[in-house]
Each structure stands twice: as structure tokens, then as C-alpha cells.
Structure 1
Amino acid sequence: MTSTAAQQTPERRSSLRALRHRDFALYFTGNVLSNCGTWFQNVALSLLVYRLTRSSFWVGAVNFAQFAGVLLLAPWAGAAADRGDRRRLIVATQVVATLTSGALAAAVALGAGTLPVVLSLALVLGLTTAFATPAMQAILPALVPRDDLPAAVAMNSVTFNLARAVGPVAGAFVVARLGLAWAIGLNAFSYLFFAGAMLVAHPAAQTTRAGGRARLRDSMRMVLAERHLFILLLVVAAVSLSMDPVNTVAPAFATRVYGRPDTFVGILIGAFGVGAVTASVIPSGEGRRPARTIAIMLALFAAGMIGFALSPALEAGLVALAVAGFGYLSSQTRVTTLLQLEVSDAERGRVMALWSVAFLGTRPLASLVDGGLATVLGPRAATLLMAMPIVVASAAMLMGPGRTVGEALERSRVRR
């Protein structure tokens, strides 16, 4: 009786177990340092552009430039991750990013950091992100055993959200004490830490795909053939859209809503990151109804963002952002893990390129829309409207689309 019950109850283990594997630990450490540097630069660029223009729209335009490459280059980036050495591709993109951020830091230090210069170099950085992201996502199964892949996906998200908790606060401190150019320059060096970590890692051999012309419609056709994969990608896009106010509208919340200095943006973004990191260390099981669990976490994410939009005081806003961060990571990790497990290694790069389009490629649109809404309607109304995609996604995962996902995953589990 006890044995049967144990088999039916999913084991609850912390995602920290992924760090027991040397190669993933190297990847994790390098990626955390690199992402912290990225947040130094994100804070610096947001403050630089906001000081230059006093416009949330132009802050959104810089975010647009940083992620437009993901949308434009998805078919080639996914093909590169499937046909080439993923580790070498990651290292190459980090070197190019180092040179680009170094040039941006020099421009700001010399007083040449104008809006056109910032937009142009942000666009170049976006090109490196476009090629790095599918390779970074697709290499995860080569760094850990299959049983620990969900933990690795969760901890991979933690690299970004731990950096989100620490990086903005530290970045704002660096900007206040040393200036914008120093924050951007430190980011340039941070890319080298990740490149070095990947050089000494030894991922398992990957299954490469034969050559041929890279076409986005081929990748889309593959996903549309498995409807549950398409639904999961739509959830990823909804999460990305609704998360945008944390970045784009945060300067306006800091100054106009809460009456604090613009460097306080680091505290707001950090609160969201704290909630996300908390979600990563709480033990979780695979569960028999993943669609329902995703729906609940999406609802929690939505509640947090709506609470932030309506928060009467700073303290309430920080708590709401932490709740939103918890729901964000919990839902995003589960969706990304399912996508990783449902495709073969030879196709994983292309599918994760579509993940990049859904998660990163939607950000240019989200940033422009969010910035425009904040300019016309104010930051509170913009945040409320941007929360609607995850409200819809949560409801959908409890109804027909959610049942489609659940049935497909059950068939997959039986085959395995």
C-alpha cells in the first residue's frame, strides 16, 4: 500500500540538484555572472535613455533594438544550433557581445552616447542574443542526465532571475557611484566569464542535423504538426508580453508613481527577481496535471502584475512584484521543460529558436506597445493592460487548449 502510493506521488526535489553536475555548474556560474553584467547594462541604458528623452517610449525602443534580431534571425539561429557545435557558437557570441558592449561603454564615457548610437549598438547586441539563445537552451540536455533536465531548466531560468534580483540593485549602485560607462563596461567583461566557463565544460555529444536551407516555415510546420507544442509556445509569448512593464515602465513607476530617484528602478526589478529565485528553490514534483499547474502559476503571475499596477504605496508594489516573479518563473520553467522533453536532440535547436521568438522576439513589440501605452495612459494603466495576455493564457490552460496539452503529454509519457 505504501509502496504503491509512493509510486503514484511525484517526488518533490529541489532544482538545486542540477548543480551537482560539473558541466552544468560551470554553465550556471558563467551565465549568472554574465546575466548580472547584462542587468548592469540594462539599468544603465534605461537611465541613460530616460535622462536623454524623459520618454518611456524611447526606453521601449532600446528594448526593441536589443531583441529585434531574435525575431528576424530565428530560422538561421535555430539551424546553426542544430548543425554546428553549440558550445563553440555560445563562446563566439559572447566574444562579439564583449566587443560591442565595450564600444558602447567607450561611447558613453567620451560623451558620444547619443540616442542613435545607443540604438545602433543595442541592435548589434540583439544579433548576438539571437544566435546565442537557441544554442544555450538546446545545450542543456547535454549538461545533465535526462531525469535532472527539469531541474536544469529551472536553474537556467534562475541564472536570469538571480541576476534580476542582484544585478539591478548593484547596477544602480555602480551608476550612482561610478557612472553609466562603468556599469556598461563591467557588462563587457562579464561576457568573458561565460565564454571561459563554456570553454572548460564538456557537454555530451550532440546529434547534428544535415545541411539545407534554413526556413522559418519548416520549423513552424514541425511545431504545428504537434498542436500542444504550439499552445506551449503561445503561453511563452503571453508570459513575455506581460512581463515587459517590469523593465520598460519601471523608471516611470520609480519617479512618477513612487516619487523616488530614477536609480530606484533597480529595487523594483530586484523585487521581481527575488520572487523568481524563491520559486526556484522550493521543491516541486512533475505532477500528473501539468496544464492545471501552469494555469495556477499564470494566475499568480497575473495577480502580482495587477497588484503592482494598483499598488497604493511602494511597499505594496514590492510585494506584488515578488508574487509576480514567483508565478512567472514557476509557469515559464514548466512550459520550457515540456518543450525540451517533447522534441529530439536533432530538432531541439530549431524548436528553441521558436522559443526565442516567443519569449524574446515578442519583446520588441511588447516594449513599443508598453512604452506607448505608458506615455499616453500612464504607467499604471499600461501595466494593467499588459497583464491581460497571461490572464487569457491562464484561463485557456484550464479549458480546451489545456486539455490538448495534457492529453498529448500523457501519450508521450506512455511512449517513454
Structure 2
Amino acid sequence: MSGGQHGALRVLRQRDFGTYFLGNSLSNIGTWFQNIAAGLLVHELTGSTLLVGAVNFAQFFGAFALAPLAGAAADRFDRRRLLIVTQVAAASVGAVLALLTLTGRVTAAVVVGAAGVLGLALAFMVPALLALVPLLVEPDDLDAALSLNSVTFNLARAVGPVLGALVVERAGYGVAFALNAASFLAFVAALMVVRPRPQRRTVGVRPSLFATVRTVRDQRTWAALLVAVMALSTTTDPINTLTPELAREVFGGSDLDAGLLVAAFGTGATLTAFTLLGWLRRRRHALVGAMVVQGVGMALLAVAPTLPLAMAALAVSGGGFLAGVTRSTVRLQSEVPAEELGRVMALWSLAFVGTRPFAALLDGAVAEVFGARAAALVMALPVLIGALWVHRVLREDAQTTGGGRAEAR
């Protein structure tokens, strides 16, 4: 067993992180029940991929609009308690959506509205979630912990869509929404158990997120890492927006096939996390290489002639995505001072989630006019173009610091 695998297993055996990992995994799986059910339901009600994109726009717009407040909240307030509040709020929204669906009163507008309210909770959740992880493990275990934290999202992406599609097929949309609500409460139970180390909070005059933007602008390496996260996240949008049309119309499949497409991406990411992260950590150009792999995989999706080949392309893209996000996030978490971490993670959230509403609208609009294949090809461009700029900045940083620091971490 590799050293990276040993480190991951050691961190999972720790009471606080192991409990957090389990609860967060269940919550993320439930979120994919919501995502796959919402996309399929709106596509069934309207037949419009653009409106499926509107669901994703609504879900992620809160992270864009509330990033200044969310980052400051993660630095000023207890992160564990803040997460509990957001999870309870999200569970309440999920329960209302399930009730409306089960009683036959759901409409496309209701689904979009529920996604928007869930997005408000998501905006406060992401910076607090990322800033909490360093308080659950020792500094030497941070790399493994952050990799495993990425695994929770991608393991959920591998398992959740398939299970969600099966639930939709066998029990209906309302049950899928209800299970999502229950998953939020499972994470609340886990958060009630964990005991993170004391948090160094911001006191006195509250620094604005715009001050943090200026700091990041002066730290070109941090800016490049955030651009990498933004490009990687933007290129994942076809997973949410295009899979209903790809499965049903391009490949002539079923709702389950839509879940399998999403799961293929998550499977590639999860396999990468458990088998390649230790190796990637020792490679100078791992981040840029991962960005290229993700973009090439998405481009291959656009031209795949069959569903199995499309799934293989998405698995490749998922592997690149996981490697790229982990490498960039680990470095940010390692370099940013603890008292600024919440605000910088709010910028991370803005890069990772805040760009997604606009990507969803662009993706849906291109698919509406030119088809899902053309949209997938267009969405491969951000990460491929971004890789060129990130490579240049990190290379200059490595030359300035006299070594291969920029991508060796």
C-alpha cells in the first residue's frame, strides 16, 4: 500500500475527521439525489435544456452574490455551528420541495425557486466547510484530509446520481427530494459529535472580501490557483446541465443512463483520489496536466459515438478534475494564514461555485441552439485555455523562488 493510502486510512481512523467524512459523504450523496431529480423533472416538465441550466443558475448564484458575507462569517463565527445552521436550513427547503412534489403541486418554477434557496445555504456552507477541515486534523495530515474531503464530493458524484436516478425511476421525484432532506440531517448529527480545535477568529474591524481580493492579486500564485479552480469548475457544468439531453436524446437512453453519465465522472475522480494523488504530489506539473486531462476528456464527450465511450470520456475528465482541484486547494490551504483562511476560501467558493450559474446558462443556451455535443465542446475550452495561463504564472513563481515549489506541492 502506498504512503498516500496509508495517510488517508490513518486520517479516516481519527474520530473527528472520520465522523465528519461520513456525515459529509451522506450529505453530498443526498445533494446528488436533488441535482439529478431536479434536472430530470424540469426537463420532463418543459423539454428545455436551457431551463435545466436555469435550475443550476439558481442553485449556484447565491455563492456568487453572498461570497463577501459568507467568507467573513466563516472567519468571525464558529464554523461548526455555522455549518449546522446551513444544513438545517437546507433540510427544511428539501422537505418542502418533497412535500409539494408528492402532493402534485410542483412546477418548474417551484424547482428553480427551491434551488435558489438551497443556493443561499450553500453560499455560507462552502467557505465554512473548507475552513473547518484544518481544525480537524494535524498539519502533517492536511494534504490527506483535503484529498479525502474532495473524495466526499466525488464519491457522491459516483454513487449519488445512479442511486438518485433509480429512486426517481422506482419511487418518484418526491422521494428523491425527501432523501436529500434526510441526508442534510445526517450531516448535522455528525457535526454535533465532532470537536474541532479552537478557531482563531477575526475580531475588531472586519476586513472586507475586497481587501482579500487585493491581497490575492498581489500574490500572483494564489490568483493562479484560484483561476485554476474556476476553470476546472466551469468545465464540469455539462455534468449538471447536459446529461438529461445527452442520455435521452443524443444516446436514446433512459433516466438511469443520465445517472450513469454523471457517475462515470465521479468514478474517475474517486479512483484518482485513491490511486494517483500520492504520485501526482511528486510531479512538478501535476496541476496544469490535470487541467489538460479534464478538458480533453470533456472534448471527447462531445464526439463520443456511444454511451459507453461517453462514460469513459467523463471518467477521464473526472480524474483530471479531482487531481486539479486537490492540488490547487491543498496549496492554498497550506499557504494562507489561518486568520484569513475563511475569506480566501470564500474566494475559492466564488471561483468554484460562483462561476457555475453563468456556465449553466451558457451551457444550456448553446445546447438549445446547437445541441448538447456542441455545448460540451464549448465547455471544454475554459480549462484548456486556463491551463496555459496558470502554467506561465506558476513557472515564473518557481523561477522567482529558486525551485519547483509552484507545482511540487
The answer to whether the superposition gives a TM-score over 0.5 is: yes
1:228 and 1:408 in contact (8 A); partners too: no
> Over residues 147-177 of structure 1, what are the superposed CA-to-partner deviations in whole Å (9 max), with x where a residue is unaligned?
1111111111110110111110001111111
When residues 48 and 392 of structure 1 are mapped into structure 2, their CA distance, relative to the original with a 3 A threshold, is: same
Q: Map Cα deviations across residues 217-254 of structure 1 (whole Å, 9 max, x no partner).
A: 12211211211101110111101111101110011110
Aligned AA (1:406): A
| Alignment-derived partner of residue 398 in structure 2 | 406
Q: Classify 1:251/1:408 alpha carbon distance in 2 versus 1 (closer, same or farther; 3 Å).
A: farther
Task: Report the alpha carbon displacement of residue 403 of structure 1 after superposing the two structures with TM.
Answer: 1.1
Check the 8 A contact 2:56/2:360 in 1, yes or no: yes
Does 1:78 pair with 2:74?
A: no
What does residue 13 of structure 1 align with?
A: 4
- Tell me the alpha carbon deviations over residues 71-90 of structure 1, each in whole angstroms, 9 at most, x when there is no partner: 11111101110011000000
* Of 181, 200, 203, the match for 2:193: 200
Contact 1:76 1:214 in 2 (8 A): no
2:233 aligns to what? Answer: 240
Q: Is the 8 A contact 2:131 2:341 kept in 1?
A: yes
Q: Which residue of 1 aligns with 2:56?
A: 63
Alignment of 1:167-206 (within 5 A): 167-206=160-199
Which residue is equivalent to 2:336? 343
Partner in structure 1 of residue 251 of structure 2:
258
In 2: Cα distance, 1:365 partner to 1:308 partner: 21
Aligned ranges 1:6-405 → 2 under 5 Å:
12-14=3-5, 15-213=8-206, 215-283=208-276, 284-285=278-279, 287=281, 290=284, 292-398=285-391, 400-405=392-397
Alpha carbons 2:269, 2:315 under 8 Å: kept = yes
Q: 1:70 to 1:162 in 2, by over 3 A?
A: same
Q: Does structure 1 retain, via aligned residues, the 8 Å contact 2:225–2:390?
A: no
Distance 1:286 1:39 in 2: 28
Aligned residues: 402
For 2:101 and 2:218, the matched residues in 1 are separated by 48
Q: Read off the aligned partner of 2:252 and give its amino acid letter.
A: G
Q: Deviations over 1:349-391 (max 9, x none)?
A: 0000000000000000000000001111111111011101111
Aligned equivalents of 1:350, 1:147: Cα separation in 2: 23
User: Is contact 2:269–2:318 with CA below 8 Å preserved after alignment?
Assistant: yes
Measured in 2, the distance between the counterparts of 1:102 and 1:409 equals 52
Task: Provide the rounded CA distance (Å) in 1 between the counterparts of 2:273 and 2:193.
Answer: 26
**Partner SS state of residue 4, structure 2:** coil
**In structure 1, how many angstroms separate the alpha carbons of the residues matched to 2:185 and 2:130?**
19
| Structure 2 unmatched ranges of 5 or more | none
Q: Is the 8 A contact 2:220 2:393 kept in 1?
A: no
Percent identity over the alignment is 47
Q: Distance in 2 between matches of 1:409 and 1:296?
A: 21
Alignment partners' CA distance in 2, 1:13 and 1:261: 38
Task: Give the Cα–Cα distance (whole angstroms) in 2 for the partners of residues 250 and 286 of structure 1.
Answer: 29
Greater than 6 Å deviation, 4+ residue runs: 408-414
Aligned partner letter, 1:404: E
Q: 2:201 and 2:47 mapped to 1: Cα distance?
A: 48
Q: How many Å apart are 1:409 and its aligned residue?
A: 7.2
What is the distance in 2 between the residues matched to 1:256 and 1:412? Answer: 47
Distance in 2 between the 1:288 and 1:177 partners?
Answer: 46
Q: Residue 135 of structure 2 contacts residue 197 of structure 2 at CA under 8 Å; is this kept in 1? A: yes
Query: What is the alpha-carbon distance in structure 1 between the residues aligned to residue 206 and residue 106 of structure 2?
Result: 39
Determine if contact 1:231/1:405 at 8 Å carries over to the other structure: no
Give the whole-Å Cα distance in 1 for the aligned partners of 2:39 and 2:260.
14
User: Could you tell me the TM-score, scaled by structure 2's length?
Assistant: 0.94
What residue ranges of structure 1 are gaps of 5+ in the alignment? Answer: 1-10
State whether residues 21 and 143 of structure 1, in contact with CA within 8 Å, keep that contact through their aligned partners in structure 2.
no
Q: Aligned Cα RMSD in Å?
A: 1.8
C-alpha distance after superposition, 1:238-275 (max 9, x if no partner) = 01111101110011110111100234210100011110
Is the 8 Å Cα contact of residues 305 and 383 (structure 1) preserved in structure 2? yes
User: Contact conserved, 2:281 with 2:327, CA < 8 A, in 1?
Assistant: no
Three-state SS of the structure 2 residue aligned to 1:57 is helix
Q: Give 1:97's aligned amino acid.
A: A
SS class of match (1:202): coil
Asked whether the 8 Å contact 1:250–1:269 carries over to 2, the reply is yes
Change (3 A) 1:144 1:286: farther
CA distance in 2, matches of 1:173, 1:403: 47
**Amino acid in structure 2 at the alignment position of 1:243:** T
Structure 2 match to 1:5? none
Contact 1:166/1:270 (8 A) holds in 2: yes
- Aligned letter for 2:208? R
Q: Match of 1:397, as an amino acid? A: V
Amino acid at match of 2:386: A
SS at match of 2:235: helix
